[in-house]
Amino acid sequence: MAENLKIKALGGAREVGRSGFLVSYSGEKYLFDYGLKINIDVIESLEYPERQFYPLPIRENVNGVILSHAHLDHSGLIPKLFDKDLFSYMHPATLDISKILWKDTIKIADLNKEKFPFPKENIRKADKYTFALGYDKEVQISDKTFIEFKDAGHILGSCLCYLSIDNKKILYTGDFKIEETNLHKGVDLRKLERNLNVLMIESTYGDREHPDRNKEEKRFVESCLDVVENGGNVVAPSFAVGRSQELAEILYRHKFPYPVYMDGMGKTVSNIFLNYPKSVKDFSMLKKSLKHTIMVESPRERNKVLKSPSVVITTAGMMQGGPVYYYLPEIYDNERNAVFLTGFQVEKTPGRQVLEKKEIFVDDQRLKLKADVKKFDFSAHAGKKDLFSMVKKSNPEHVVLVHGDSKVIDILKKDLEKEGFKVHAPYQGDVLTLK
């Protein structure tokens, strides 16, 4: 008698953050992602260092780990698994970027005097324990199991992860985007496998669409122009992976006539992009844009950035740390300047506070921003319509909704059920048994 397929939600169930899903079938177990939750403010994390940072621990024997992409909410705790001699599968660019993000995680934990989430030396073990796999190549990883990655269009190296155990076909989407962006072509719908057994799909924007991207780009460039032409500076807190590079390209393509600087981890990640020409939509455009952008290489150079009107693209994207804390105290008190947020601002992050209350704490001091604050939607996630396209094209027996706020997931679940799909929305710790 055929056994049931089981999925255990270790994290990333009805939340965005610390994704971790354990799939068991036919005597084998695979883990999709093992990330950190990054939306806790510093005070809270100091008091309760392990309260809700991590996914649930893995008690079972696992055959392998499949990492969808480098973002910390998916990759953050992977090095902990190298303790257990666990072997991981990921795109080569994911390995390169993850190593940078893992080192930074340790650095931040050190600064905040928190316990390290994994021993430092585990990052060095990553090469030994990783099988790097490119797109569109099916690989056999056990007697009965195959994996294949397809371009997920979300960030450099992001994968739709196909897993077939004993002919049960599962797709774990990780984060994905179908629509093209400046940097990536997006998911190629023609390449999707049909009639899956299980589709585990992200639900971040399961209740809404994104604004028109071209219009949003124009609004960004024009807003930057308004500020600098009035003698001000724009600080654009941006994610290191993807968003920093994309903003540089947008400003370059629009022939932005003022200096554009990049500071923080975005610089390091930009160098990785240059090693993967085939994984970028228009490599020569990206290369030119990055060359045109002035990289801030030392604290001394930072002083120059704000001496005349300019735009500075800098980490962290939700303002949880990084060089944005050099720029902010310099610009906040003048209405000629601006803070332009360019990514999703998770609840309780300083970025969200800036957006909602126009205030931020720097060294325990509350700064009330006179500088203009605007938010732009350059999302690298699928909107609602594209989530539906993914479900319809894959046409699975079971849809499992992950990586979304609980309210959003309830809405998406209802709407998919109206279309006749069998939909599951597990909570943290739940084990789904799928016939």
424 binds Zn ion (CB under 5 A): no
What is the x/- site pattern for Zn ion, positions 346-375, by CB under 5 A? ------------------------------
Contact of 176 with 150, CB cutoff 8 Å: no
**Least distance to Zn ion from the beta carbon of 266, Å?**
15
Contact of 82 with 126, CB cutoff 8 Å: yes
In order, the DSSP letters of 254-302 are: TT--S-EEEETHHHHHHHHHTT-GGGSSSHHHHHHHHHHSEE--SHHHH
**Least distance to Zn ion from the beta carbon of 225, Å?**
30
Rounded distance, CA 28 to CA 68, Å? 19
Which of residues 14 and 302 has its CB atom nearest to Zn ion in the complex?
14
**Least distance to Zn ion from the beta carbon of 253, Å?**
24
**Least distance to Zn ion from the beta carbon of 419, Å?**
25
71 binds Zn ion (CB under 5 A): yes
Per CB under 5 A, which region of 78-86, 175-183, 208-216, 280-288 contacts Zn ion? 175-183
Per CB under 5 A, which region of 106-114, 171-179, 233-241, 421-429 contacts Zn ion? 171-179
Kindly tell me which residue out of 15, 33, 73, 249 binds Zn ion, with binding defined by CB under 5 A. 73
Distances 135 to 31, 138, 182, 192, 296 between C-alpha atoms, Å: 19, 9, 20, 13, 34
Rounded distance, CA 250 to CA 216, Å? 11
Taking alpha carbons only, the member of 88, 91, 63, 93 closest to residue 78 is: 88
Rounded distance, CA 96 to CA 422, Å? 37
**Least distance to Zn ion from the beta carbon of 31, Å?**
16
Which of residues 15 and 73 has its CB atom nearest to Zn ion in the complex?
73
Per CB under 5 A, which region of 72-80, 116-124, 228-236, 337-345 contacts Zn ion? 72-80
Rounded distance, CA 26 to CA 111, Å? 45
**Least distance to Zn ion from the beta carbon of 335, Å?**
34
Per CB under 5 A, which region of 110-118, 168-176, 189-197, 416-424 contacts Zn ion? 168-176
Which of residues 81 and 380 has its CB atom nearest to Zn ion in the complex?
380
**Least distance to Zn ion from the beta carbon of 7, Å?**
18
Q: Tokens 């609840």 belong to which residue? A: 347
The residue count for binding Zn ion (CB under 5 A) is 3
Which of residues 104 and 175 has its CB atom nearest to Zn ion in the complex?
175
Q: Cβ-count burial of 171 within 10 angstroms (0-12 exposed, 13-18 middle, 19+ buried)? A: buried
217 binds Zn ion (CB under 5 A): no
Which of residues 71 and 384 has its CB atom nearest to Zn ion in the complex?
71
Instruction: Show the DSSP H helices in 365-429 as ranges.
Output: 384-394, 406-418
33 binds Zn ion (CB under 5 A): no
Which of residues 71 and 210 has its CB atom nearest to Zn ion in the complex?
71
Contact of 208 with 102, CB cutoff 8 Å: no
Contacts of 397 (CB under 8 A, 6+ apart): 196, 197, 198, 422, 434
Indicate the SS3 state at residue 330: helix
**Least distance to Zn ion from the beta carbon of 70, Å?**
8
Per CB under 5 A, which region of 73-81, 137-145, 160-168, 217-225 contacts Zn ion? 73-81
Kindly tell me which residue out of 175, 179, 246, 249 binds Zn ion, with binding defined by CB under 5 A. 175
Provide the residue type at 66 as one letter. Answer: I
Query: Torsions phi, psi of 2, nearest 5?
Result: -70, 140
**Least distance to Zn ion from the beta carbon of 83, Å?**
24
Which of residues 71 and 398 has its CB atom nearest to Zn ion in the complex?
71
Angle between helices 265-273 and 92-111 (to 10 degrees): 170
The residues that touch Zn ion, with contacts defined as CB under 5 A, are 71, 73, 175
